[in-house]
Structure 1
Amino acid sequence: MPESGDTPIRRQSVRPVYSASRLSTYESCPLQFRYRYIDRIPRTEESIEAYLGSRVHEALSVLYHTVQRGGGPSLSDLLKDYHRQWGECWHNQVKIVKQDRSIDHYKEFGERCLVNYYQAHQPFNHGEVLGLECQVATSLDPDGCYKIQGYIDRLVCVGSGRYEIHDYKTSGRLPSQGDLDVDRQLALYQLAVEERWPDAKEIDLVWHYLAFGRELRSKRSPKALDGLKRSTIAVIDRIEADTEFTPIKSRLCHWCVYQNICPLWTDHSDATGTAYAPAVGDGRSMEVRTSVDRREPDIQSIARDALREAITLAAEPEGAEIRFGEHGQLWISMSHSDRKTHLNSAADGWVRLSVESLPLLFRQMELARLSAPFVEKLQRYLALSSQEDWYGGH
């Protein structure tokens, strides 16, 4: 899972190359984006989830390389390589946020993911593998000003003009079909594949949710891809116009490698933002970072109230009506006649939004049913409202 393009975002004459992960980082927290891609602050920590995902991806890449060379990898070979990589790559800055889970828990979880995949897909002869960790790039506009690149886990040709873009996921959450149908990452890869392989007339986007042993698929119409280009360009324009890079506090902060320098977290007695506990695994001593609880800064309440007012004022021109629950929940009702199809509205037309429903909001933006500035306000509010203490810790 290489990170695509680490060129600085600003202070250069040529517009940088973006990636789906860069865009998602900005949408989750503009300040994290600035620290990582503009200020280029080194990252020493790595979450255990990211570490696990890298080791699983490496093992599956080795498996298919072996197949390409004419070999027939066994399950024991696959797991042996996974355990070897786990031990060789381990470092003392792996961060475990969920304190009730051990290193062995994550290691066994990755093993289970690989067993599920091996049993479901052997002998691994589906189509012609065109690339593993295959780098692709494209432009979103005819002038080549908005460039995107990324790495496809596995690209496969399954027949004349038929291609599949495969992506491995070690997430413990299974998305809905609606989530997949508005996923940006693989759809951007599709744009690049269509440019590089002109014979690609039919492309399937394929996700392997390894923990569940499930293969999920989606297709994109030309109209949907055109909307994706417009919405992605809009996000890039927002990034390049941003001068504040205001941080967004959410549950994701606990996994952020910059938490110890973030102004939302450093105004407390524990300036480092982490506690250290010894752990042992793979026969060596390791340092495991775990998050500690803190009070919510007053700035969050101020930001929440300001966003509520801004959202309420902006809703009417958008053809939407907004309600706020007593514990901060956000509800929306849209005047569009087809809102039930696109926002999965309840019978009365009202939808309760959450961080998980952000793809649906982005889809509304792609379809020009909601403006980008309005969706951005909703996104910021939802990121704030995802904190546990807003809902009594539930």
Structure 2
Amino acid sequence: MPKGVAAVFGTIVHSALNYMFERNPLYPTLDEVIDFYTTHWKEKSESIVWSSPDRKEQEEKMYFEEGLSVLKNFYKKNQPWMFNVVELEGRFSLELPDEKSGTTHTLAGIIDRLDKDPETGRYEIIDYKTGKRMPSEAELAENLQLGVYHLALTARWPSMDPGNFTTSLYFLKHNEKVSVVPSRETLVHTRDFVLKTIREIEKHLQDGNFPPMPSPLCGWCSYQKLCPMWAHEFKEEETRTASDAEVAEAIRGFFDIKKSDDKNKKRLAEIRATLLQYMQQENLARVFGEGGYITKNVQERISIDVERAEPFLKSAGVWEQVLEPSEKKLQTLLSSLPEPIQEEILKFETKKMITVLKPTKKKGGADDEEEDSLLV
């Protein structure tokens, strides 16, 4: 299956890190790790499908050098002899019975690395990431991939305390590791979520309906030509019909109109600024032209900081009437409150003056006029 450069880059870096922690009988030096990476890059780079062939040389050089930097920084911070690695690229097969359907499902995968602290006996599940984004610890606690790994190992060693594991993502480009200690509740949540997802997949299989779910990962997918979200882009020229030509023209027309609308919005903003400046300079409230006249109105818009007003609304026993805090509801409710409460709440009031230009078209006679939408 053809792969993009990012996928190949991730595979080679993972392989080099795996090699780094292998002891045969000594751990490899940094130079040996770099040699391993360089050799495998030369072998694998030939199979890369480049999105922009004209930039192949530049892009390949950038990825290769980034891999060198990642490995050097990682080795400097993580000398392999400092860790007690139990397993590298360990495969697992997890049997997951579903009590609702009576079916047992099998989840299989590979864990990048499993360490064990010889002093505490605690295990650490480590997954390497070559992406740029680092999630928060709160996100990490709900990470499905690490959750499944944790579930698999607790099933492999049922007598072991599920709390005796740490799960970690190591972000190679940042040379930083983010870790959490999953709870028993997290374990149950992961199991329930996986089973719920499997049931949804089974229902889609039964209905023959798999709605596409586009994401930033679509660019790395090898099945775009089969996907309803992307298939049209890859449609072969010889299979196109008159309907395809009609749709192509409709799409072109859509974007032409959209472009024209955007251009008009920009021009209206420029016209508004010109009119306001002139009317302020000349002290005018209305200006006249061939097509009609434009009137300037200054409106006062009031808003109240609902969160700061909350204690006073609660003391007045009306907070529940506001329900989900809403400025509009609060404005309506304000006049019914005791005066001292009103005074406290009005301290959080802010006023904003909005200038509105209202165009009016002339049809025929001097008094035959038609108002247009507001230009704010």
TM interval, shorter chain, is 0.5 to 0.7
Aligned partner of 1:158 among 106, 117, 124: 117
Letter in 1 for 2:202: E
Aligned partner of 1:94 among 49, 72, 97: 49
**Which residue of the partner structure matches residue 27 of structure 2?**
72
Is 1:264–1:297's contact at 8 Å kept on the other side of the alignment? Answer: no
Closer, same or farther: CA 263–121 of 1 in aligned 2, 3 Å = same
Letter in 2 for 1:244: N
**Which residue of the partner structure matches residue 169 of structure 1?**
129
Closer, same or farther: CA 58–248 of 1 in aligned 2, 3 Å = same
Worse overlay, 243-252 or 229-238:
243-252
Is 1:163–1:204's contact at 8 Å kept on the other side of the alignment? Answer: yes
| Structure 1 residues 78-131: Cα deviation after superposition (integer angstroms, max 9, x where no partner) | 11100100111233442447997611111111222111210111143322x221
The answer to whether structure 1 residue 103 and structure 2 residue 60 are counterparts is yes
Letter in 2 for 1:195: A
| Structure 1 residues 188-211: Cα deviation after superposition (integer angstroms, max 9, x where no partner) | 111111222345431011211111
Higher relative contact order (CA 8 A, sep 6+): 1
**Which residue of the partner structure matches residue 289 of structure 1?**
none
Secondary structure, counterpart of 1:56 in structure 2: helix
Distance 2:212 2:125 in 1: 33
Aligned partner of 1:131 among 74, 87, 95: 87
> How do 1:8-157 and structure 2 match up within 5 A?
44-65=1-22, 67=23, 69-96=24-51, 102-127=59-84, 129-141=85-97, 145-157=104-116
Is 2:147–2:186's contact at 8 Å kept on the other side of the alignment? Answer: no
Closer, same or farther: CA 141–48 of 1 in aligned 2, 3 Å = same
Distance 1:232 1:269 in 2: 33
Distance 1:296 1:151 in 2: 47
Secondary structure, counterpart of 2:62 in structure 1: helix
The answer to whether structure 1 residue 257 and structure 2 residue 214 are counterparts is no
Is 1:110–1:170's contact at 8 Å kept on the other side of the alignment? Answer: no
Letter in 2 for 1:78: V
Distance 1:295 1:258 in 2: 27
For normalisation by structure 2, the TM-score amounts to 0.56
Distance 2:63 2:17 in 1: 17
Distance 2:38 2:45 in 1: 11
Distance 1:168 1:59 in 2: 12
**Which residue of the partner structure matches residue 179 of structure 2?**
217
Secondary structure, counterpart of 2:46 in structure 1: coil
The answer to whether structure 1 residue 206 and structure 2 residue 163 are counterparts is no
| Structure 1 residues 280-300: Cα deviation after superposition (integer angstroms, max 9, x where no partner) | xxxxxxxxxxxxxx99979xx
Closer, same or farther: CA 227–61 of 1 in aligned 2, 3 Å = same
Is 1:140–1:147's contact at 8 Å kept on the other side of the alignment? Answer: yes
The answer to whether structure 1 residue 244 and structure 2 residue 209 are counterparts is yes
**Which residue of the partner structure matches residue 370 of structure 1?**
none
Gaps in structure 2 of 5+ consecutive residues: 238-247, 253-323, 327-376
Is 2:8–2:48's contact at 8 Å kept on the other side of the alignment? Answer: no
> How do 1:378-389 and structure 2 match up within 5 A?
none
Larger radius of gyration: 2
Structure 1 residue ranges (4+ consecutive) displaced by more than 6 angstroms after TM superposition? 97-101, 294-298
Distance 2:98 2:66 in 1: 45
Distance 1:349 1:113 in 2: 49
| Structure 1 residues 288-340: Cα deviation after superposition (integer angstroms, max 9, x where no partner) | xxxxxx99979xxxxxxxxxxxxxxxxxxxxxxxxxxxxxxxxxxxxxxxxxx
Is 2:170–2:177's contact at 8 Å kept on the other side of the alignment? Answer: yes
Secondary structure, counterpart of 2:104 in structure 1: coil
| Structure 1 residues 133-174: Cα deviation after superposition (integer angstroms, max 9, x where no partner) | 101122333777132221111112213541111111111111
Letter in 2 for 1:170: T
Letter in 2 for 1:112: S
| Structure 1 residues 336-372: Cα deviation after superposition (integer angstroms, max 9, x where no partner) | xxxxxxxxxxxx989xxxxxxxxxxxxxxxxxxxxxx
Closer, same or farther: CA 233–349 of 1 in aligned 2, 3 Å = farther
| Structure 1 residues 8-55: Cα deviation after superposition (integer angstroms, max 9, x where no partner) | xxxxxxxxxxxxxxxxxxxxxxxxxxxxxxxxxxxx321211100100
Letter in 1 for 2:71: L
Closer, same or farther: CA 204–102 of 1 in aligned 2, 3 Å = same
For normalisation by structure 1, the TM-score amounts to 0.53
Gaps in structure 1 of 5+ consecutive residues: 1-43, 273-293, 299-347, 351-394
| Structure 1 residues 244-275: Cα deviation after superposition (integer angstroms, max 9, x where no partner) | 11223344332221223434334358649xxx
Distance 1:251 1:102 in 2: 20
Letter in 1 for 2:18: S
**Which residue of the partner structure matches residue 235 of structure 1?**
197
Secondary structure, counterpart of 2:81 in structure 1: coil
Structure that is richer in helix per residue: 2
Work out the percentage of aligned pairs sharing the same amino acid.
29
